[in-house]
Amino acid sequence: AQKVTQAQTEISVVEKEDVTLDCVYETRDTTYYLFWYKQPPSGELVFLIRRNSFDEQNEISGRYSWNFQKSTSSFNFTITASQVVDSAVYFCALSEGFGLVFGAGTILRVKS
Amino acid sequence: DTGVSQDPRHKITKRGQNVTFRCDPISEHNRLYWYRQTLGQGPEFLTYFQNEAQLEKSRLLSDRFSAERPKGSFSTLEIQRTEQGDSAMYLCASNGQTSADTQYFGPGTRLTVL
């Protein structure tokens, strides 16, 4: 069965520090999709990125970057120069048939 | 273009009562999903519709849970005879072309069972 592990329960950083959120997944599928979502205090899940299993190219979007390594089944997320507004819970998710399997999430606290 | 909407945003009920939640997906999306999220956990998949057909419902938590999407547009999730353990956030999501497409989530309905 599919599984997503986010080993970091909570991370605290000071503004402008870089921070990496880890995600490790398990699947027997050869074709699958990985996602990152952000859940700010307001509660609504906000989509950040979707990657398919055939595309291992790293991606950068502004201060956000993602490192997908199939060999280690990891899909890590780095925020460069963190800001207070980045404080939220971040979820990594894996496609499973129709639904998504989510990790338990990492709470990121960015202090000014 | 409006996003996924859910109603109500909050619901407080007494144990044993029935509750119903509504989800309106993004208008051009034909796939709709329900999830449950408990405190400190990630969302947990419950059920899925493609148009009006419910294609996956084995993950519904018990036979007290049911969902419908009668006309392939909005959907309802009903919990009968609520229990305190049903207290959670109930999330709805939708997507379009394929089930692997990005799912866009609504704001959720927070249920509190007293």
What is the rounded distance in angstroms from the CA atom of residue A30 to the CA atom of residue A38?
Answer: 26
Whether the predicted pLDDT of A98 surpasses 90? no
Contacts of B87 (CB under 8 A, 6+ apart): B111, B112, B113
Beta bridge partners of B23: B6, B75
Whether B42 sits inside 8 A of A50 (CB atoms) is no
Radius of gyration, alpha carbons of chain B: 13
Whether the predicted pLDDT of B1 surpasses 80? no
What is the rounded distance in angstroms from the CA atom of residue B2 to the CA atom of residue A22?
Answer: 32
Whether the predicted pLDDT of B97 surpasses 80? no
Cross-chain CB nearest to A103 (options B42, B99, B104):
B42
Whether the predicted pLDDT of A29 surpasses 80? yes
Whether A95 sits inside 8 A of B100 (CB atoms) is yes
Per-residue pLDDT, averaged over A59-84, amounts to 95
Q: Which residues of B touch A4 (CB under 8 A)?
A: 42
Q: Does B74 touch chain A (CB under 8 A)?
A: no
Amino acid at B69: R
Q: Does A30 touch chain B (CB under 8 A)?
A: no
Whether A104 sits inside 8 A of B102 (CB atoms) is no
Per-residue pLDDT, averaged over B46-52, amounts to 94
Q: Which residues of A touch B32 (CB under 8 A)?
A: none
Average predicted confidence (pLDDT) for chain B: 94
- What local confidence, expressed as pLDDT, does residue B21 receive? 98
A49 to chain B: closest CA residue? B102
Whether the predicted pLDDT of A38 surpasses 70? yes
Helix (H, G, I), strand (E, B) or coil at A86: helix
Q: Does B99 touch chain A (CB under 8 A)?
A: yes
Per-residue pLDDT, averaged over B74-81, amounts to 97
Cross-chain CB nearest to A43 (options B33, B100, B108):
B108
Start-to-end CA distance of chain B, whole Å, equals: 37
Per-residue pLDDT, averaged over B100-114, amounts to 95
